[in-house]
Structure formats: C-alpha cells, structure tokens
Amino acid sequence: MPRKSFLMACLMIVSCGVAVASCETPGAAFPRAEDLRVQPKPVPSDEVLTSRIAGEQHDNAVEAWGEAGWAQVGRLCRFFDEMGMKGLDCPVPETRPKPG
C-alpha cells in the first residue's frame, strides 16, 4: 500500500499543473514578430538636395514609414488591451474596402 506522503505529493503535483494550465489568457495570441521590430527611418539620398521629384519621393517614404509605425503601435496596444492591461485607449483597426 502506497504511503500517505507519496499520495499527497502526487496530489500536490497534479494540482500545481492544473493551476499553471489555467493561468493562460484564453484567446490571446502573441503579437506578430514584425510588430516587435523597429523599422529604420528612410535615409535621404544626395539627390534630395537637387531634385524636386527625389525630395517628394523621400517625403512619401517618410510618411509611409510613420503610418506603418503608428499602425504597429495600434496593433500592440490592442494586443495588450486583450491581455487585460488597464488604462489603454487603442485606435480602432483600419479597415480598407476590398477592390472590386
């Protein structure tokens, strides 16, 4: 017949396993790996000083970089909001109409 201390140890191990398994937040997935990478700011070429078109292209690249960065912040904000973090005011995800 097994000793009482052995049975108690088994019971404690099983109950700890159940407690750990129940700690996971249901439905929450990790944020995308791309959202945890810092995208480098576009560097202007030498042509920016002499060409209006090159300057506008650089301005457009910086604008796209900024918009992508804020979209990334929004996705991370919504992730942490789903995890239960308090005090967040996350932007609504942008939805674009499907072409067609």
Q: Does the pLDDT of residue 9 top 70, yes or no?
A: no
Sign of torsion over alpha carbons 99, 74, 37, 60 = positive
Q: Residue 32: CA atoms inside 13 Å, Cβ hemisphere, count?
A: 9
Own/partner long-range contacts of 22-31 (Cβ < 8 Å, ≥24 apart): 25/82, 25/83, 25/84, 27/82, 28/79, 28/82, 28/83, 31/75, 31/76, 31/79
**Is pTM beyond 0.85 here?**
no
pLDDT score of 64:
96
pLDDT in tens, 50-78: 999 999 999 999 999 999 999 999 999 99
